[in-house]
Amino acid sequence: MKFSIAVIVLMYVAIVFSQPADYVHINKIIAKLEQDQIVTGMWSSALHPSNAAGLVEANGFPTAEEAISKPMLDYILIDMEHQPFDVQALREFILALNSKREVLIKGNLQPNISVLVRIPADGNQPVHACIKQVLDIGVHGVVVPHVRSAAEARRIVSACRYPQTEDSPYPDPVGERGASPWLASYAWGLSMPEYVDRADVWPLNPKGDLLAVVMIEDKEGIENLDDILDVKGIGAVIFGPYDYSFAAGYPGQTTHPEVAGKWNHVKSICDRHGVPLVGFGNPDNAKDLLEQGYQMLLCGHDIRLNHGVPQVLDIITRYIKN
């Protein structure tokens, strides 16, 4: 039997980069995306340990299999762009999210709720310090607002990565994150070497557990989105319709045809690159978003639960069953 060079190369790549069957991502967002499951999140602002415990309890205590297959709150996005960049409160909140009961029932260290943080620095501003601060506490990914170019995207990915070893199969973009993994490793339930091994960006590193998310909110960002998504290590995209409405000259008019049209344009580019675009879900549009192929949803707010998180989860449950 003869094999073409291309087939041999593909077989080699599959062998080298395949993960063990029992490999469990710490980052639940990544675990569900890899299994083509719908990922549901919520904005979070109340960084009190009691709120952290309440979010854990609200999900119940599913088994490892249920946690992947059952619609539930999979992640929270903590906004520190328009709210205080309070690293101390964030640290206490992250530690309070750790549940011994959750670990016992699941039988693994993957929390049911992953944590993303939107940092205050825009893509064209110095981002390294903000990213380092939140990653060192143990969050699972960062969201950077107003990303406008591939150069900015590369800086974001570099800020998330530790410097690579000389024999690293994923040398680019070069990591520039300062090394002090003790608290993050504690929060993840790992030794420091184990954390360092996992603290890389996905999908650039298939075993990585960090998610680098860019926000597209400006005309330049849309014009350069193909180049931005060519940067290895960008895990997801959020389109900011409110900010874009200002950039487009229609302040606050998020349903204006210019804004809605650009949202659809961003979705088509993300689909072409195979990068998930986060959809803002509510009870009125959740089914439509699912039918449009959105795999990541962001629904409601922890201080305004009546905005539909439970209803959206119910819609997703019925959508999956049908």
Distances in whole angstroms, Cα of residue 77 to Cα of each of 45, 86, 176, 187, 223? 9, 15, 24, 18, 26
Residue 280, amino acid = F
Query: Residues 162, 172: contact at Cβ < 8 Å?
Result: no
Per DSSP, what are the bridge partners of residue 117?
A: 78, 142
SS3 content of the chain, % helix, strand, coil (to 5): 45, 15, 40
Q: Is 82 a catalytic residue?
A: yes
Give dist(CA 299, CA 141) in Å, integer. 18
Give dist(CA 76, CA 275) in Å, integer. 19
Tokens read off for 190: 């790992």
Q: How many CB atoms lie within 10 A of CB 131?
A: 27
Distance from the Cα of residue 204 to its chain's centroid: 14
Distances in whole angstroms, Cα of residue 164 to Cα of each of 107, 139, 172, 230? 31, 21, 9, 20
Per DSSP, what are the bridge partners of residue 279?
A: 297
Give dist(CA 224, CA 29) in Å, integer. 26
Give the active site residue among 48, 82, 273, 301. Answer: 82
- Diameter of the chain by CA atoms? 64
DSSP state of 266: H
Per DSSP, what are the bridge partners of residue 94?
A: none
Query: Residues 302, 46: contact at Cβ < 8 Å?
Result: yes
Residues with a catalytic annotation lie at: 82
